[in-house]
A and B are shown apart, each in its own frame.
Chain A
Amino acid sequence: MSTRMELASTVVEDAVSPGPSAGLAGSAGSSAIFEIQDLNVYYRDFHAVTDTSLNIYQNEITALIGPSGCGKSTVLRCLNRMNDLIDGARVEGRVTYHGIDLYGSSVDPVEVRRRVGMVFQKPNPFPKSIYENIVFGPRVAGWKGNFDDLVEETLVRAALWDEVKDKLENSAFDLSGGQQQRLCIARAIATSPDVVLMDEPCSALDPIATYRIETLMRELKKQYTIVVVTHNMQQAARVSDRTAFFSVDVGEEGQRTGRLVEYDMTDRVFTAPSMKETEDYITGRFG
């Protein structure tokens, strides 16, 4: 690990206690990587997410589910300040990462994103070689080391090495959709992040590619913390340790505001949720 990126180490080692927490969502005393308190997100006049509080725990997969427009992606994008890229986005409330206010005035979003990587809905590899896709992140972060080793190590971890080891210089676009998405996951972990955010990572993939990514996710959670947004609740049920269910309130003028309904262990949410709204959603009695 010593040759790997040093960037993340300082903050991570300050974390109180590693390992999955058995406590219930939001309960005091569990070691949370992210603490979200009273989060409200606006896009100009549009209130996208209202009064959301939840904690994300280390080495777990947390799934955010809910109908379209429920703000699950918005909440996800608050965790690496990806919302900054959208004009007119405004975040209220508190999002802390290892106790540090992510939206503090002196926080550099670039540094945040080096520690909190992201995988997107559609596989979006850079239009470059497989090799270049992996090394870009570490290179711009000023990482010094053997890039060949880094590429191999990263691709092995992303369960892609055997499939691409003989064509590292080929275009990333030569890969299949599922392979491209695993390359994107590899790219996200190449910078040795602490957390990997996944925004509907399998929605463009077929079931087999989806299962592969889910298996990879469970493998990766041993080393990383994963937050995944999915509109496929079966996927949330399959992979996640905790599930947050968001719903959407439609206002008088049709404005849609997302709201957290329930956050609990996934077993619980899918077998006996405590909120009627959650039960209606997972049993298909909504709308």
Chain B
Amino acid sequence: MSDQRPDFHAALKSLEETTLSMADKVEGMVAMAIRSLVNSDKTLVSQVIADDDVVDEIYMEIRSRWMNIMARQQPMGRDLRMMAAILEMNNTLERMGDQSVNIARIAGLTAGLPREETILAKLQEMGDLLKPMIRTAIDAFGRRDADECLLLPAMDVPVDVLNRSMWKHVVACGNDPQLLEWATRMILVSRALERVGDQAVDIGEQVAFLLTGDHQEFLRFHDYDAD
């Protein structure tokens, strides 16, 4: 069966590619934000903020192209699911970018304060866990791989565990007000990273919908919570 709507499908493909390139950009931003925090690197802070402007532009561009395709091409079936997935991913990626900016801003604000190595190590660990997660989510979308997106909820579990344990390390910091300020802010960073992990799982859910046509919520760590 030859393609009877080559122009439409080319436009859809191009929109998908733009979304993927936005995802690559956001993936880099998350990594950069953590590095800017761990290394107290002000250049990286401004780099993350500059990248977010680019991501915001791509976000707006995808929205407008999405709108045109919707209005003009009346996508159906697989194409319609792709459009739905792209719109959701566009929002998710934009918010992941925003979380990166939050982390980078905190890195900038806390640059002069004393630091606690255990907390930093935990945050670095979260970052290390997130890196393959984001990659997996993007690849699952790019390769239409249902198996890969099913891995994501399990990958998210240690991130959530680390986030929940963060308060203990903060309490352990003692009474030094400056260290306490730093540690409290690190709670926000941990929270932001936890959100990024959730958003990677969100992308996985979108890919699963794209591939199967069923809306599904993956089981997440907090769903197991008894208390």
Interface residues of A (CB under 8 A from B): 208, 211-212, 214-215, 218, 234, 237-238, 266-267, 270-271
Contacts and interface: CB of A to CB of B under 8 A. Distances in A.
A218 B8 CA distance: 11
B7 A237 contact: no
Contacts of B8: 238
B4 A270 contact: no
B72 A211 contact: no
B68 interface: yes
Report, as a range, how many residues of chain B touch the other chain: 10 to 19
Given A212-B4, A267-B71, A267-B72, 9 more contacts: A208-B4, A215-B4, A237-B73, A238-B72, A238-B73, A238-B74, A270-B72, A271-B67, A271-B71
Contacts of B68: 267, 271
B87 to A, nearest CB: 15
A215 to B, nearest CB: 6
Contacts, number: 28
Given A238-B72, A238-B73, A267-B72, A215 B6 contact: yes
A-B interface, 4 closest residue pairs, ranked by CB to CB distance from nearest: A211-B4, A237-B72, A270-B71, A271-B71
Given A238-B73, A270-B72, A211 B67 contact: no
Contact of A234 (B4, B7, B74): B74
B5 A215 contact: yes
Interface string B1-26: 00011111000000000000000000
A218 B11 CA distance: 14
Contacts of A266: 72
Contacts of B5: 211, 214-215
28 contacts: A208-B4, A211-B4, A211-B5, A212-B4, A214-B5, A215-B4, A215-B5, A215-B6, A215-B7, A218-B7, A234-B74, A237-B71, A237-B72, A237-B73, A237-B74, A238-B8, A238-B72, A238-B73, A238-B74, A266-B72, A267-B68, A267-B71, A267-B72, A270-B71, A270-B72, A271-B67, A271-B68, A271-B71
